[in-house]
Amino acid sequence: MICGARSDDAANCGWLAYRRLRIVDLSVSEEKLVAAPVRKKKLTLKQLLAKVNENNLHAEVDSGPSVGREVW
């Protein structure tokens, strides 16, 4: 199914509203609008930990007493 920008085409594209929203890169190629998905760069643990500092490090969290066989 091809969805256009005209109002009479919008009724045929209702199924698009049920899809998960994604960020796309919009460009024009050969007089056509092209929407390409933007893929998030996967970060390594080392890259994530490099962002931790004293300003964004939280204090210890008390989760209450043991409820099973865990040892604190």
- The single-letter DSSP state of residue 39 is P
In the chain, % of residues over pLDDT 70: 68
Please state, in angstroms and rounded to a whole number, the distance separating the CA atoms of residues 70 and 72.
7
Domain of 32 in residue numbering reads as 7-49
Query: How confident is the model at residue 7, as a pLDDT?
Result: 47
Residue 59, in any domain of the structure: no
Which one is predicted more confidently, 45 or 71? 45
Into how many domains does the chain fold?
Answer: 1
Residue 65, in any domain of the structure: no
Residue 37, in any domain of the structure: yes
pLDDT class for 72, splitting at 50, 70, 90? low
Residue 32, in any domain of the structure: yes
Query: How confident is the model at residue 50, as a pLDDT?
Result: 95
Selection from 3, 6, 27, 34 nearest residue 16 by Cα: 3
Residue 34, in any domain of the structure: yes
- The string of pLDDT tens digits covering residues 5-30 is 554 554 555 545 445 667 788 889 99
